[in-house]
């Protein structure tokens, strides 16, 4: 994934008179005031409020030598872009930073948004109030080392230190309007301490109900939340309310929120069999380059009464990435890095299968060759409490040999399933067809299920191409 960064160029400005005293570096031995200009790389939104700086945005800057900030030469100096054009200067004479006059090297640490008081180099993070997200979108840079008055140009690379979740909510069957929609993340931590010296975020505290910022559109409502990164959200709930109607999403136990990533979902609220349900139609993870994160259906809130009828949902999908390989590129399963779904693990115990394209097939796909047994094994799919499983995929043969589809084995948690017998003729080589295999008699379901596509050297004389795998089930 591309890491979106704010690039700051530190340049030397007017000289300041220095003393002749030679001793440990002091403020009297500093010269060449530092100013900053800025650009936003990759044309990606990097601040919560938009892709550009706003008037009077302020950053805090430290200049130091050695490790840590205990002996910083300049601490928490405020630099401001008055016009919002990305050109930063000290907010006052007392905030101005100067390079050492003797040409010695210094390092810089910077953060956004600026806070007047920083105690023990700890930045207090609080995401309880989401109404002004530009005020809680913590950015941090510590990459610049060895700068001095003789080589003043430096690029500070800023990264997001929190996580962002965006929900695009639509009204489905039985929901006439989204007017008044509120979206609340229940039981999420709201505060944490960020160590500016080390760039580390301490464990979160003070769990509370966090109300997302909502913006009504023509046909959908956007709900945005900046949250503390968390390794697991097992059992956490997101509540959608319209008037007295409630729709609750219990987040999957495999969900993690990582620093610097944005998690986007399309959600439809609808009534099914008299009950309310929030359906997550699709999901993506971005670095604030899209990665599908799966699809989920969320059952109704108990407060609405009644019982929830199981609804079909997508449990796993993979299309092998949206960036096509060149026709000469081939990656073994263990070496391929362009997976669309990164919540699972992929393997081939025989090391024969690969990911490729061809001169006529431009989409990435799996190739199961004729040269030996091969497989695409996918492990870590959450099928716990699911029923009526089925897997669909696109398949084509690669050579002038006929192939009976029933010779392709679909192995789910150790249980083998085969497509119905269908002969793919050599005349149809490299033409994909869609196949669905019923897995409803699977006896083992778990939060760490394994799905494999297996090809036997004895029956695969044509070579098989597989693409667009989708596993569905009811929950």
How many helices (H) and strands (E) in the chain? 0, 36
DSSP β-bridge partners for residue 279:
268, 297
Task: Report d(CA 404, CA 419) in Å as an integer.
Answer: 9
Please report, rounded to a whole number, the percentage of residues in the chain having pLDDT higher than 90: 51
- pLDDT digit string, tens, across residues 205-253: 999 999 999 999 999 999 999 999 998 877 788 999 999 888 888 887 7
Residue count of the chain, please give it. Answer: 475
Task: Report d(CA 29, CA 24) in Å as an integer.
Answer: 9
Residue that is written with structure tokens 């949250």 in the block? 227
pLDDT of residue 448 exceeding 90, the answer is: yes
Domains assigned to the chain? 36-160 (2.60.40.2620), 163-309 (2.60.40.2630), 315-474 (2.60.120.260)
Is residue 28 a contact partner of residue 19, using CB atoms and an 8 Å limit? yes
Residue 281 pLDDT grade (very low, low, confident, very high; cuts 50, 70, 90): low
Per-position b or e across 372-405, b if 16+ CB within 10 A of its CB? ebbbbbbebbbbeebeebbbebbbbbbeeeebeb
Q: Are strands 163-171 and 262-272 parallel, antiparallel or unpaired?
A: parallel
Residue 385 pLDDT grade (very low, low, confident, very high; cuts 50, 70, 90): confident
Is the peptide bond between 53 and the residue preceding it cis, with omega within 30 degrees of 0?
no
Task: Report d(CA 25, CA 22) in Å as an integer.
Answer: 8
Higher confidence at residue 374 or residue 50?
374
Among residues 452, 456, 451, which one has the least CA distance to residue 374?
A: 456
Task: Report d(CA 181, CA 175) in Å as an integer.
Answer: 11
Residue 282 pLDDT grade (very low, low, confident, very high; cuts 50, 70, 90): low
For 227, half-sphere exposure in the C-beta direction (CA atoms, 13 angstrom radius) is: 31
pLDDT of residue 265 exceeding 50, the answer is: yes
The alpha carbons of the chain give a radius of gyration, in whole angstroms, of 28
Q: What is this structure's pTM? A: 0.57
Residue 435 pLDDT grade (very low, low, confident, very high; cuts 50, 70, 90): very high
179: exposed, middle or buried (Cβ count in 10 Å: 0-12, 13-18, 19+): exposed
Is residue 297 a contact partner of residue 291, using CB atoms and an 8 Å limit? no
pLDDT of residue 378 exceeding 70, the answer is: yes
Q: Which residues fall within 8 angstroms of residue 158, CB to CB, at 6 or more apart?
A: 5, 6, 7, 8, 46, 110, 112, 139, 140, 141
DSSP β-bridge partners for residue 228:
none
Is residue 164 a contact partner of residue 263, using CB atoms and an 8 Å limit? yes
Is residue 376 a contact partner of residue 348, using CB atoms and an 8 Å limit? yes
* DSSP three-state, residue 42: helix
pLDDT of residue 357 exceeding 50, the answer is: yes
Higher confidence at residue 291 or residue 112?
112
Per-position b or e across 440-461, b if 16+ CB within 10 A of its CB? eebeebeeebbbbbbbeeeebe
Q: Which helix (H) or strand (E) holds 296?
A: strand 296-298
* DSSP three-state, residue 474: strand
What mean pLDDT is predicted for residues 38-62? Answer: 61
The reported pLDDT for the residue numbered 379 is 96
The reported pLDDT for the residue numbered 289 is 32
Please report, rounded to a whole number, the percentage of residues in the chain having pLDDT higher than 70: 79
The reported pLDDT for the residue numbered 284 is 55
- pLDDT digit string, tens, across residues 59-68: 999 999 988 8
| First CA to last CA distance, the chain | 31
Task: Report d(CA 238, CA 242) in Å as an integer.
Answer: 14
The reported pLDDT for the residue numbered 69 is 94
For 436, half-sphere exposure in the C-beta direction (CA atoms, 13 angstrom radius) is: 8
Task: Report d(CA 236, CA 339) in Å as an integer.
Answer: 27
**Mean pLDDT value across the chain:** 82
- pLDDT digit string, tens, across residues 284-334: 555 563 334 444 444 345 444 433 446 678 899 999 987 888 877 899 999
Is the peptide bond between 113 and the residue preceding it cis, with omega within 30 degrees of 0?
yes
Among residues 110, 143, 283, 125, which one has the least CA distance to residue 206?
A: 125
Task: Report d(CA 99, CA 148) in Å as an integer.
Answer: 6
The reported pLDDT for the residue numbered 454 is 97
Higher confidence at residue 235 or residue 281?
235
Q: Which residues fall within 8 angstroms of residue 427, CB to CB, at 6 or more apart?
A: none
DSSP tag of 202: P
């Amino acid at each position: 994934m591309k890491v979106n960064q704010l690039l700051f160029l530190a340049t030397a400005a007017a000289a300041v008179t220095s003393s002749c005293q030679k001793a440990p570096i002091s403020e009297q031995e500093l010269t060449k005031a530092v100013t900053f200009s800025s650009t936003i790389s990759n044309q990606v939104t990097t601040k919560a409020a938009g892709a550009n700086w706003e008037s009077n945005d302020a950053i805090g800057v430290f200049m130091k030598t050695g490790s840590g900030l205990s002996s910083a030469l300049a601490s928490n100096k405020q630099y401001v872009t008055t016009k919002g054009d990305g050109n930063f200067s000290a907010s006052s004479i007392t905030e101005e930073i100067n390079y050492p006059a003797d040409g010695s090297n210094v390092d810089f640490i910077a953060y956004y948004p600026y806070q007047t008081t920083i105690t023990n180099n700890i930045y207090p993070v609080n995401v309880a109030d989401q109404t002004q997200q530009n005020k809680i979108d913590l950015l941090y840079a510590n990459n610049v080392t060895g700068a001095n008055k003789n080589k003043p140009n430096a690029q500070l690379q800023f990264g997001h230190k929190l996580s962002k979740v965006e929900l695009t909510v639509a009204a489905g069957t039985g929901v006439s309007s989204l007017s008044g929609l509120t979206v609340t993340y229940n039981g999420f931590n709201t505060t944490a301490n960020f160590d500016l010296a080390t760039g580390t975020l301490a464990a979160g505290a003070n769990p509370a109900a966090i109300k997302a910022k909502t913006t009504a559109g023509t046909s959908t409502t956007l709900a945005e939340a900046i949250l503390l990164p968390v390794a697991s959200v097992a059992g956490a709930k997101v509540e959608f309310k319209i008037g007295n109607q409630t729709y609750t999403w219990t987040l999957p136990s495999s969900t993690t929120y990582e620093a610097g990533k944005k998690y986007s979902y399309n959600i439809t609220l609808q009534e099914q069999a008299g009950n309310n349900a929030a359906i997550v139609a699709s999901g993506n993870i971005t670095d604030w380059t899209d990665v599908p994160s799966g699809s989920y259906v969320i059952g109704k809130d108990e407060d609405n009464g009644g019982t929830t009828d199981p609804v079909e949902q997508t449990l796993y999908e993979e299309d092998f990435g949206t960036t096509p390989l060149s026709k000469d590129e081939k990656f073994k399963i263990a070496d391929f890095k362009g997976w669309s779904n990164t919540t699972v693990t992929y393997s081939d115990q025989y090391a024969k299968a690969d990911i490729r394209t061809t001169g006529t097939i431009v989409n990435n796909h799996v190739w199961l060759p004729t040269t030996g047994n091969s497989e695409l094994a996918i492990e870590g799919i959450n099928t716990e409490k699911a029923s009526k499983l089925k897997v669909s995929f696109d398949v084509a043969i690669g050579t002038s040999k006929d192939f009976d589809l029933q010779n392709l084995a679909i192995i789910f948690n150790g249980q083998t399933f085969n497509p119905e017998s269908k002969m793919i003729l050599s005349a149809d080589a490299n033409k994909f067809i869609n196949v669905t295999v019923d897995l409803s008699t699977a006896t083992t379901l778990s939060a760490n299920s394994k799905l494999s596509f297996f090809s036997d050297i004895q029956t695969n004389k044509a070579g098989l191409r597989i693409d667009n795998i989708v596993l569905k089930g009811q929950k």
